[in-house]
Amino acid sequence: MRIVILGAPGSGKGTQAAFIKETYQIAHISTGDLLRAHVRNGTPLGLKAKSVMEAGQLVSDELVLGMLADRLAADDTRNGFILDGYPRNLIQVAALDELLASVGQPLDIAVKLTVPFDIIVGRCEIRFKAEGRKDDNPDVVRERLRIYSDQTEPVVAAYRAAGRLVEIDGVGQVAEITQRIQDTLKPYA
């Protein structure tokens, strides 16, 4: 199974992707987690990404694509993958289609989690207090939501127009949302 999980920052993509990974024994590839690991390890990519991420902006398409191509080449993607945080703009949609076509591994489906922005700001505020992630600061979250509306909503629209999207209500208990996703993914398993 090869899927993309879409949704605004803080909509629960990472939370749900972890369950999908376990259920279907596929690789969970989060571009946010990969970038945060680069920042933590002080790699050249991490040094470039740090201030961009802390300001809630998107890291350059070229850097993220190179990182993603390396990750998709790993052995654990043979059974499939759930891609979380990518694509985030239309350039990344085209780059992903090209990359997956070149390895003969097209996407099965894109899953979108829908959560109202006021709920998202509240969730990120809780995480900001618990973990201190700079991009969870409410002002930065609002900027991330602005960028989402501007750059990532067109991605959602493109998958919808191509008949490649399923939309799931992302409000409720984590387990309820996991169940909704699993019911939706049954035909693709």
109: nearest Cα among 1, 33, 27: 1
Rounded to a whole number of angstroms, the minimum distance from the CB of residue 79 to ligand B4P is 22
Measured between its terminal Cα atoms, the distance across the chain in Å is: 6
- Exposure class string for 18-42: b at 16+ Cβ within 10 A, else e: ebbbeebebbbbbbbebbbebbeee
12 binds ligand B4P (CB under 6 A): yes
Using the minimum distance from each CB to ligand B4P, give the nearer residue, 33 or 187: 33
Given a contact cutoff of 8 angstroms between Cβ atoms, the answer to whether 87 and 93 are in contact is yes
Using the minimum distance from each CB to ligand B4P, give the nearer residue, 11 or 80: 11
Q: Count interface residues toward ligand B4P (CB under 6 A).
A: 27
Given a contact cutoff of 8 angstroms between Cβ atoms, the answer to whether 30 and 17 are in contact is yes
107 binds ligand B4P (CB under 6 A): no
160: nearest Cα among 83, 72, 106, 93: 93
Interface residues for ligand B4P in 116-155 (CB under 6 A)?
A: 123, 127, 135, 144
Distance CA 83, CA 157 (A): 18
Interface residues for ligand B4P in 33-92 (CB under 6 A)?
A: 35, 52-53, 56, 58-59, 64, 85-86, 88, 92
Q: Which stretch binds ligand B4P (CB under 6 A): 11-19, 38-46, 73-81, 149-157?
A: 11-19
Q: Which stretch binds ligand B4P (CB under 6 A): 13-21, 101-109, 160-168, 178-186?
A: 13-21
Contact positions vs ligand B4P (CB under 6 A): 7, 9-15, 31-32, 35, 52-53, 56, 58-59, 64, 85-86, 88, 92, 123, 127, 135, 144, 174, 177
